[in-house]
Each structure stands twice: as C-alpha cells, then as structure tokens.
Amino acid sequence: MNIGLFGGTFDPVHRGHLALARAALERCKLHRIHFVPANIPPHKQRQPLSPFIHRFSMLVLATAQEKAFVPSLLEAPDEGGAPVRKDRQEKPNYTIDTIRRLKQSFKASDKLFLLIGMDAFADIAQWHQAEALFRECEFVVASRPGYSLADVANALPESLRPRPEVTRPFHKQAATGDLVLPGATIHLLGDLHQPASATAIRQAAAAGKPLGRFVDAAVAEYIRKMGLYKSSLVVGR
C-alpha cells in the first residue's frame, strides 16, 4: 500500500494544500494521505499559531468528502491541548520522528511518500536528520515556476547531492518528472495553479473579507464562527 504523509501548520488548511494532495494521490497511486498538523513546528517556534484544536478541526472539515484523506493526531499536544507546565516544555515536532511513529503501523509491503511544497523543500538540507528522511520515504514535491531540476538536486543534503558536473545539464530542465538518485527518490508535480497563501487568508479574515476563493466553504464558516484571525496577521503557511 502506498501511503502519503502531509505535514504542516495548516493555519488554515487551504485549497493549495488539497490540490497538492489530490495531485500526489493520482501521480503516486496513493491509497491514503495522512494530514498531520504540527503542534510545535521546529521552524516556527517563535511565531504565534492558532490552537492545535482549531487547526485540526479545520482539517477534519476540509477533508470530510475525501475518503483517502485522513486528519491525523500524530503530533497532537501531549496533554490534549492543556497548557504546558513551566517545568515541562514540549519538544518540537521533527518530521523524522513523525515518520517513524507512523511507520510503526505499516506492513512490510507498505511504502511512504512525504508531500511537501518546493519552498519548504529548498531548505530540506537544514531539517533535523535530513539524510535519514530520504532513507525512510520517497518525496512528492509540488513545483513552482522558476525552479529547475538542478535546484531540486542541489537542495539535497550534501551527502546525497550529485556532483556539479552531473547537475549542470539539469539547469535547463524544469522541475518536473522523477528525480531518482542514489539514496533519494523525488517525484515532482507540475505547477498546481493554486496560489493560496495562509498569510493572505489570515489577512482577509482579519479584514472581514470573503474566504471562498481560498478555503473550503466549511472551513470559511468555521473561521467566521470561531472568530479566528481577527486580531492576528502572523506570517507562515
């Protein structure tokens, strides 16, 4: 069975996220995709996030009509969202740890695919235990205009990066297709034409503007009813 893992802050989940998941589902013949909202994302520890329960609830609403999409509690707060005691600080949610927890439930024949956007993939070499990530799963990367196959190859951790003479011809090739290298397999999706930005959505919500073009109707209604983002214009996806 081919299984996808799609992690992020999902603050909020938007049409761009769902477009990536649907494209990956078809391209890699995935049987299901676990959407995993982060409790404490390592790269955004100092940025305010909506409470985990709201971000998870929006994921439930956004994926309700997709049988293959599974909202996941793999990175839920240890105490069900209760405030963390001062003497017990929760650790960041590292993707490598989440992958290993998920794979504990796998059968020997199951195969894992990690879904990620190109902007995030560009920094993959700085992720915690980056080399190990490529041993644990294959990557499905949503490309963007302006990125070449060489950009993708050169973003890899140094130990997996091809030699410059190998990647030189890649500079003329758009970041599409499959990139199969010793120790790394990357499936590149084309531009999904979904420019939705979580920052823009939060700004629109704060200004009381309609959100239908950015998010599912049920998510837009949830944001309105809960009064989310009314006083926050935080940065992030």
Share of the chain above pLDDT 90, in %: 76
Q: What number is the average pLDDT over the span 125-141?
A: 97
Instruction: Give the model confidence (pLDDT) of 121-130 as tens digits.
Output: 999 999 999 9
Q: What is the CATH number of domain 2-191?
A: 3.40.50.620
Q: How far apart are the first and last CA of the chain?
A: 29
Model pLDDT, residue 46: 61
| DSSP one-letter code for 161 | P
Dihedral pair phi/psi, residue 17, rounded to 5°: -60, -45
Q: Whole-angstrom Cα distance, residue 176 to residue 144?
A: 9
CA atoms within 13 A on the CB side of 57: 15
Kindly report the length of the chain. Answer: 237
Does the model's pTM come out above 0.85? yes
What are the residue ranges spanned by the domains of the chain?
2-191
Question: Which are the contacts of 44, defined by CB distance < 8 A and separation ≥ 6?
Answer: 9, 236
What are the distances in angstroms from CA 176 to CA 33, 46, 62, 171? 21, 34, 28, 12
Tens of pLDDT, residues 82-95: 444 443 457 889 99
What pLDDT shows up at residue 85?
Answer: 41
C-alpha 228: how far from chain center: 21
